Amino acid sequence: MNSKELKKFLDKKVDEYNLPSFIKDDPVCIPHLFSKKQDIEIAGFFAATFSWGQRTTIINKSKELMQLMDNSPHQFITQHSDKDLKSFLDFKHRTFNTTDLLYFMHFLKHHYKLNISLETAFISPKAGGDLKENLSSFHNYFFSLSHAPARTRKHISTPSKHSACKRLNMYLRWMVRKDEHGVDFGIWKKIKPSELICPLDVHVARVSKHFGLLERKATDWQAAEELTANLRILDANDPVKYDFALFGLGVIGKF
């Protein structure tokens, strides 16, 4: 399959999966429960953080957390007192436990006291459009508060440790991309869709290798950059739209 044929095929697959019907069975359904920008940001951040394992479990645990926040995550994050946190002490999702959750909430409360949007947390003055720098800076900022638990670091990946940062890249896709199909939100404007890196896991890597879009064996940051560079050949302005096709073929479709 030459590049023109591949683009035509993958564009068709994007159109098959990038639809409102995709939302209900994907973790992106969690931020879609809300209309307020900050609620979308917070709900999406937790849903993306929880996104490993079965999608049904991810969605259910994310909904459980939103309910504990009275389905007003921004208001709860910014206005809660210590006594309001008692109902969160039994919350757990796989290896994400109460210690992790309380620190996440502590960070978000700190950030929103000083910022209107979570977007600014992902922008490094030194980045100049380099997403690797932005994500590394975010990791450092996230764990810059006093008493940041060492165990929580495994839940926020960073390119500086060669991680593919699949969940953070997926979250950025949700927040940055915008088209007429309504899956992604496009509420952040300081990062361009052309600067995004494709979320990469074993499923996407398998499909990408099949189509000659990826050669690197390790599923790491370098592989994510390699894949995205090849996707930019197909669409320089919006390479990460092909995440719908690669994910759909690898996880949903019979590939």
pLDDT in tens, 105-148: 999 999 999 999 999 999 998 767 799 999 999 999 999 999 99
- The structural domain count of the chain equals 1
Q: What is the mean pLDDT of residues 40-47?
A: 98
pLDDT at 126: 79
pLDDT at 1: 77
What's the domain range around 32?
Answer: 3-252
pLDDT in tens, 80-113: 999 999 999 999 999 999 999 999 999 999 999 9
Distance of CA 104 to the CA centre of its chain: 15
pLDDT category at 255 given cuts 50, 70, 90 is low
Average pLDDT, the chain: 95
pLDDT in tens, 162-205: 999 999 999 999 999 999 999 999 999 999 999 999 999 999 99
Q: Does the pLDDT of residue 231 top 60, yes or no?
A: yes
Query: Cβ(227)–Cβ(247) under 8 Å?
Result: no
pLDDT at 128: 77
Q: Does the pLDDT of residue 244 top 70, yes or no?
A: yes
pLDDT in tens, 46-79: 999 999 889 999 999 999 999 999 999 999 999 9
The Cα–Cα gap between 155 and 81 comes to 24
pLDDT category at 250 given cuts 50, 70, 90 is confident
pLDDT at 252: 67
Return all residues near 12 (Cβ < 8 A) that are at least 6 apart. Answer: none
158, two tokens: 């960073």
Residues 187-203, buried b or exposed e (16+ Cβ, 10 A)?
A: bbeebebebbbbbbbeb
**Cα→Cα distances 101→87, 89, 92, 169, Å:** 12, 9, 8, 20
pLDDT at 129: 78
Query: Cβ(110)–Cβ(148) under 8 Å?
Result: no
pLDDT at 2: 86
